[in-house]
Amino acid sequence: MRIVIEQIKISANVTEKEVFDIAKARLKKVRAFSLLGDLFVYKRSIDARKKDDIRLVYSVSAEVLVRGNYDEAYLARQGIKILSDKELDFSLKGEKPNSPPLIVGFGPAGMFCALALAKSGLNPIIIERGADIDTRVLAVEAFKQTKIFDTNTNIQFGAGGAGTFSDGKLTTRINDPKCEFVLKTFYDLGAPKDILYNAKPHIGTDILRNVVKNIEKEVERLGGKIYYNTCLTSYNDGIANTTQGSFEYSSLVLAIGHSARDTYEYLLNKGVAIEPKPFSVGVRIEHLQADINEAMYGKAAELLDLGSASYNISHRENDRGVYSFCMCPGGEVVGAQSEENSVVVNGMSHHARDGKNANSAIAVQINKEDYGNTPIKAIAFQKELEKKAFIIAGSNYKAPVQTMGDFYEEKAVNEPNRIKPTYMNNYTSICDINKILPKFVCDYLKIGFYKFGQKIKGFNAKDVPLTGVETRTSSPVRILRTESYSMLNDKNVYPCGEGAGYAGGIMSAAVDGLNVALAILEK
C-alpha cells in the first residue's frame, strides 16, 4: 500500500536524509505498517511567511506492508494519508467503431485525449491548424525579427497549443487523481523529475517543446496520425471538412483552444449552444527578479538556494476582482496575438527561470454585463482592445508600454529605464494605456497595484513598466455539453478543454482531454 507522510516542516538548509529520518520516526508510531523499500519526496514547497525563518515543507511517500488493523483517524493525526492505487483504464468498452475519432487541436486537451484514445487502440486522427514544433519556433522567431505575422502558426496556434510558449506551469485548482497521471506522463516523455513533487511545478518553454515532440511520437507509435497545417472548416454527420480534405469520424473532439474565433463563429452560425462567460483583461507588469526575490524571501534570497520567487495575489472589491495571472519568474513578455493588426501580450519562462525580469499579468474581471452578454460581443470586446493597442502603439506590432507613475497620472512621458521591457526585445512604444483599456478596468488596476504594493515591497514603484494588452486569460465563451461530455445537440461531438470553456491552464485542460477520451471509450 502507498502512503504519504505530510507536513514535514524543516529549515531550508536541512538535507533530504534528515527529512526522511523524520518521516521514518513518524511511521514507526503506526505499528500496523512496515516500511518496504526507500522513501521518496512526494511534494515540496516553500513557506516564506516569516522571512527570518524560511521553511521547506515536505510530503514523503512510502510503500508499506500492512500487518494488522489501523485507525484512519489516528493516521490523520500523524499526518499520514493513504494513496489510491487505482490506475486509469483506457480499454475500449464496446466494439471498435468503423471510423476513428477525430481530434481538432493538439494543445494539452487534444494531446492527452489523443494519448488516451491511442492507448485504447482507436487510432485517433488529430488535425492542428498550426505547424509542428520546429516550424512553429521558426515562425515565432521570424515574427520577432521581421514583424511578418503568420495567422495559423504563432504563439497561439501549433503543436502543443498556447501553453508551449509559456512558463509551462502545471499548477491547478482542480482536485482530480488524473493530475498524477498527467504529471507522470510529462515526466516519462521528457519533463524534469521535480514536476512530480514540487508544489508549484513548471516545465519551462525550452523543455516543454521537446516534451510535445515526444507526445507526438508516442501518439503515432500507438497508432494515431497527426495532420499539421490543417484547419477544420465544417462538419456534419460523421464527415469533417478541413483545409486539407475531408475525414470520416466516429467521434469529433473540439479541443480548439481559446483563440479559435473563426471556429466559434462557425459553431454559432451552425446553431450550436454557446454561452458567454466572464473573463479578464489587463496588462503585463515587470519587475527585476532580484527585487521580487528579496521582497518574498528577505535576506534568505541571497543566503539560500530557493530559486526564483513567484507570487500569487488578488483583491476583490464591489463584486469585481483584480489578480495576478500566469506569473513568470525570470521570464519575458511575448507577442501572443492570433490575428493580423492586433497586439496581445503573454508571459514565458525557460525552465531555469534565469532571466533578469519577472513578469505577470495583472487582470481585471470582466462580467457578462460589461460587454453585452452574448458570445459575439464577448469576442468583439477582446478584439477591440487588441486592435486599439495595435493602432495606438504605431500600427507596427509594437506593444504599448507605460511606467506605473505615468499610468496613475494618465500621461505618456517617461521611458522605462531601470527595468527594461522584454516584449520582443523591447519593441515597444510609450503610450497611455488609459486610452486603450476601459476606464473601469484601469480604475481596478490602480486599486490592485496599490493593494499589491502593500503586500510586496516595490510592486507599485513609479518606474515599474506595464505592457498591454493581456486579453487571452481564458475563453470568453463556453460550448455547452451534457454530463457525458458530448455537445447538447450532437452526441458524437465533444467540446473539450480551455477553448470549450471547461479548463484554465495546462493541467486542467489535459485532465479534461482525458475525461472526454474516457467518455468516448465508455460510449
What stretches of 298-390 adopt beta strand conformation (E)?
A: 314-317, 320-328, 332-335, 345-348, 357-366
Q: At what angle do helices 133-146 and 205-221 cross, to 10 degrees?
A: 150
**Residue 246: exposed, middle, or buried by beta-carbon count in 10 A (0-12, 13-18, 19+)?**
exposed
Return the C-alpha cell found at 256: 480548439
| Contact criterion met (CB below 8 Å) for 277 and 368 | yes
pLDDT value, residue 76: 87
Q: Which residues pair with 488 in a beta bridge?
A: none
Give me the sign of the Cα torsion angle 81, 58, 34, 183: positive
CA distances from 28 to 24, 35, 43, 143 (A): 6, 9, 21, 60
CA distance linking residue 272 with residue 211, whole number of Å = 34
pLDDT value, residue 70: 85
DSSP SS3 for 121: coil
Q: Is 303 left (phi over 0), alpha (psi -120 to 50) or beta?
A: alpha
Where do we find the cell 503515432?
220
**Per-residue model confidence as pLDDT tens digits over 463-486:** 999 999 999 999 999 999 999 999
CA distance linking residue 497 with residue 261, whole number of Å = 15
- Count of helix runs (H) and strand runs (E) in the chain: 14, 23
The pTM is what? 0.94
| Contact criterion met (CB below 8 Å) for 343 and 337 | yes
pLDDT value, residue 69: 86
- Domain residue spans of the chain: 2-82, 102-273+478-522, 278-470
Which portions of the chain are predicted below pLDDT 70? Answer: none
| Contact criterion met (CB below 8 Å) for 19 and 10 | yes
DSSP SS3 for 471: coil
pLDDT value, residue 172: 86
**Per-residue model confidence as pLDDT tens digits over 88-114:** 999 988 889 999 999 999 999 999 999
**What architecture is the 102-273+478-522 domain classified under in CATH?**
3-Layer(bba) Sandwich (3.50)
CA distance linking residue 134 with residue 406, whole number of Å = 40
| Contact criterion met (CB below 8 Å) for 99 and 239 | no
Class of domain 2-82: alpha beta
Q: 285-302 b/e with 16+ CB inside 10 Å = b?
A: bbbbbbbbbbbbbbebbe
CA distance linking residue 135 with residue 153, whole number of Å = 8
Return the C-alpha cell found at 193: 523529475
pLDDT value, residue 248: 98
